[in-house]
């Protein structure tokens, strides 16, 4: 019984290797027209190769030709673009609806006299876990702070002593006519001058430049920043109205705002005017003839 299996496989191999001849004869003369020598093994290999080639051709036709549009589940390029556009519109509509819901909730809160509550104060550490933590500045930290402040003050003084050589050729236009009530004082963090003037007086740009910022803050009111040449920036605070927009080009002496009394730091109609050179505040009275 152990020898029967190998005999069967040997017999199958001999069968596949046997040669057969396919002959085509003329029916009248019995002359040979065509003959082909084949074996069962070569026929099987040939059929397998033809199947692979045909399958590859069909897949290529479906994947790289418009025939794929006729297959269920496939869509055209135009349909895909339309789907993407509809998806983007749906996202934007969702954002608009969320913003509208927030707005309506705020309106309802106002009608119902519901005001925003103050945020809760941080609770005290009752566990005593951080009771022994030292929060005081170290000796090295204090020395670093002193060195930094001295360096900043020395740098500002050095610029002032050099009489701003980079700005000596510029002709500054007086931003507003009035009287200076508070001068530049670095020790008090007052980086500009306060000029009292008539109400509704136009504020003018001290130099030609480009508006880089316009906005409002609770402390400084309406503010406008103008970038000039030589890395010089002028700042105008406490205005009642801003006449220019961010990105506009401004000429020297052109009206950019109206004197006002906006902001918590303002006690009356006046202009707070600052000049910054290379990122450092300088005394405007050394450049502008007020």
The reported pLDDT for the residue numbered 248 is: 92
The reported pLDDT for the residue numbered 259 is: 93
Average pLDDT over residues 198-221: 91
Residues 276-289: tens digit of each pLDDT: 988 888 889 888 88
Written as one string, the DSSP assignment of 36-64 is EEE-HHHHHHHHHHHHHHHHHHHHHHHHH
Region of 221 on the Ramachandran plot (φ > 0 left; ψ -120 to 50 alpha; else beta):
left
Parts of the chain belonging to CATH 2.70.70.10: 168-286
Count CB-CB contacts under 10 A for residue 136: 7
The reported pLDDT for the residue numbered 13 is: 78
* pLDDT of residue 239 exceeding 80: yes
- Does residue 262 contact residue 238 with C-beta atoms inside 8 Å? yes
Written as one string, the DSSP assignment of 215-255 is EEETTTEEEEEEEETTTEEEEEEEEEEE-S-TT-EE-TT-E
Residue predicted with more confidence, 234 or 163:
234
pLDDT classification of 123: cutoffs 50, 70, 90:
low
pLDDT classification of 234: cutoffs 50, 70, 90:
very high
- Does residue 175 contact residue 204 with C-beta atoms inside 8 Å? yes
102 token code pair: 């927030």
Residue predicted with more confidence, 209 or 112:
209
Average predicted confidence (pLDDT) for the chain: 81
Average pLDDT over residues 232-259: 92
Residue predicted with more confidence, 237 or 39:
237
d(CA 237, CA 272): 5
What is the H or E stretch that residue 282 is in?
A: strand 280-282
Residues 41-65: tens digit of each pLDDT: 888 888 999 999 999 998 888 777 7
Q: Percentage of residues in the chain with pLDDT exceeding 90?
A: 27
Please give the class, per CATH, of domain 168-286.
mainly beta
- Does residue 206 contact residue 257 with C-beta atoms inside 8 Å? no
């Amino acid at each position: 019984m152990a020898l029967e299996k190998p005999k069967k496989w040997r017999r199958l191999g001999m069968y596949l290797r046997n040669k057969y001849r396919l002959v085509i004869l003329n029916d009248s003369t019995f002359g040979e027209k065509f003959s082909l020598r084949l074996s069962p093994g070569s026929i099987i290999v040939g059929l397998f190769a033809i199947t692979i080639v045909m399958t590859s051709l069909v897949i290529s036709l479906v994947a790289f030709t418009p025939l794929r549009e006729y297959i269920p589940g496939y869509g055209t390029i135009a349909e895909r673009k339309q789907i993407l556009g509809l998806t983007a519109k749906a996202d934007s509509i969702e954002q608009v609806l969320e913003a509208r819901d927030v707005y309506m909730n705020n309106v309802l809160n106002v009608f119902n006299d519901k005001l925003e509550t103050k945020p809760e104060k941080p609770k005290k550490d009752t566990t005593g876990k951080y009771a022994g933590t030292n929060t005081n500045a170290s000796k090295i930290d204090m020395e670093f702070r002193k060195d930094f402040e001295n360096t900043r003050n020395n740098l500002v003084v050095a610029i002032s002593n050099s009489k701003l050589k980079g700005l000596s050729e510029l002709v500054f236009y007086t931003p507003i006519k009035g009287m200076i009530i508070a001068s530049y004082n670095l020790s008090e963090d007052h980086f500009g001058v306060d000029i009292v003037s008539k109400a509704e007086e136009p504020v003018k740009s001290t130099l030609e430049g480009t508006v880089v910022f316009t906005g409002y803050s609770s402390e400084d009111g309406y503010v406008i920043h103008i970038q000039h040449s030589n890395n010089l920036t002028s700042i105008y605070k406490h205005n009642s109205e801003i006449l220019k927009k961010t990105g506009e080009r401004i000429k020297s002496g052109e009206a950019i705002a109206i004197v006002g009394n906006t902001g918590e730091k303002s006690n009356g109609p006046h202009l707070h005017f600052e000049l910054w050179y290379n990122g450092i505040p300088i005394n405007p009275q050394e450049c502008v003839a007020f």
